[in-house]
Amino acid sequence: MRDLCKVCSLCLLMKDIGLFIKGLDVTALIIYSLLASFFALYLLYTKRKRLFHLPVGLLILYFIFSIASILLAPLKIAYANKLLGVVSAVFLAIGLARVIVSFVVDYLVARTKRTPMPQISRDIGLAIAYLIAIGIVLHLKLGVNPTSILTTSAVFTLVIGLALQDTLGNLFSGIILQMEKPYDIGDWVKFGEYIGKVSEINWKSTKIITPENETLCIPNNIIAKNIVANFSKPLPIHLAKVKIGVAYRHPPEEVISTLDKILVDIDGVLKDPRPSVRVENYGDFAIEYAVMFFVQDFEYEGLVKAEFLKRVWYEFSRQGIEIPYPIRMVYQVGKGEEYDGCRDETREYISYIKKVEVFSPLRDEEVRLLAQLARLERYAKGEIVVKEGDEGESMYIIVEGSASVVKGGSFITKLEKGNFFGEMALLTGERRSATVLADSGLLVLKIGKDEFRNILLANPDVARQMSDILAERRAEAAERSPEGGTGELKGVESERQALSVQIFKKIKSFFSIG
């Protein structure tokens, strides 16, 4: 029974189509064929571009009403035929208008502009196209003058305007904003207290995505009444400002030099325009410095600032530069506590120094003195401790964390707790032979030339013994190398002795030992 109904329905549809075709002349058939082909191509385009299929639906409605008009023609109901003709023409006109606007906006404009057209501009264009299309149909089919409609609807427009005052305010504010174009989609902006990236501009509001990844819809009339700050215009690069307070006892030149050094090593800080550091104010507890640098986009300002402030703490800690703040500190020393004349951290430093083979010739009191003079330095992950080719006069012993040794851009080895590096720079002033990078939060014990000078002056024999140890270490390292060592560094005793003498001369010259 169901199959029989389907057959009957198909027969009726074929009959209607036959009547429709019979009622058309050759010109109408050509026009309908062209329209069908045109909208079919649009349908394929919309599937690829994921656009609306509304024009195709309007074309189908146009054909339905046209068929109904032809089927009702034998009944000679003039009013019905005329109404159906007007309605079908309106559907066709709106469909054509939508296709034209879509072609202009989604194809022509999209190819010439990098940023998408705001939704409000698209909606206004569609509304104007629809009004023009409907006006043309009414004029051609009914002989209606569109200007008369506008004149007779003045009172109605006034009532609607009062009822939709806020909505129309947002609409016209959006139109004004689009005419002035203070911002585009993708720009970082500030509306009053709101900061974010513009994601959409429509007839009612502007949507922004805040740094907290929240979407805010701000009415256009509120934006039009406030000051708009655009961080992406005229150029996307953005000036970041940071204030740092430093204790009065540190000379400004020293502080400015240190901050400049930090800025050079931070990824994200543009080298051109150059960063700048200047004294800005003498506060109650500190000298205030203004640090200004450019980042590629406002979006990265927070990340670069955070990295800069983190590096400031580590570098200031290593340099002994104090960041003061109003604080009251109370020190209390307990009675009866035993004190052996050596702080706990000094005892720990002594244990690390004694494990370094180069320092094995030192006496206990010399090791204690060196431990008291040595300094702890902290490095953040990724920071460079020493750089290949740089001059140096200090060595380092790893207390916490680990570091990677890189030479010529290639990874050489990994250094763990208790390992040391830079002994040749400390004793002879040689340039750094490799770059050492902190793998994580790195804590090192730094021993410099000034701390070691008094020990060598008081006991010159130590330099001779250290020369022998360094010559032995260098010879062993050369033998372990892939080349198996050059002729000058093979395990021949006379060659090692000659190398020891050479290193000893460098030590005497570097420390000015007679």
pLDDT in tens, 398-420: 988 999 999 988 998 999 988 88
* Range name among 59-73, 227-241, 315-329 with the lowest pLDDT average: 59-73
Q: Answer for the pair 316, 256: CB distance below 8 angstroms, yes or no.
A: no
User: pLDDT tens across 306-318, in order?
Assistant: 999 999 999 998 8
When pLDDT is averaged across residues 245-271 and rounded to a whole number, the result is 92
The confidence score (pLDDT) of residue 90 equals 74
How many Å apart are CA 240 and CA 148, to the nearest integer? 59
The confidence score (pLDDT) of residue 291 equals 96
User: Within 10 Å of residue 490's Cβ, how many Cβ atoms?
Assistant: 13
User: pLDDT tens across 58-79, in order?
Assistant: 656 666 666 666 666 665 665 6
For the chain, counts of helices (H) and of strands (E)? 18, 16
> Of the ranges 32-36, 96-100, 275-279, 330-334, which is most confident?
275-279
CATH for 344-511 (2.60.120.10, 3.40.50.1980, 3.40.50.2000, 3.40.50.300): 2.60.120.10
The confidence score (pLDDT) of residue 13 equals 44
Is the omega angle on the peptide bond into residue 234 within 30 degrees of 0, that is, cis? yes
CATH for 167-230 (2.30.30.60, 2.60.370.10, 1.20.1600.10, 3.40.50.11890): 2.30.30.60
Question: So what's the architecture of 238-319 in CATH?
Answer: 2-Layer Sandwich (3.30)
How many Å apart are CA 300 and CA 191, to the nearest integer? 19
Q: Hey, where are the domains in the chain?
A: 10-152, 167-230, 238-319, 344-511
Percent share of the chain, pLDDT over 70: 63
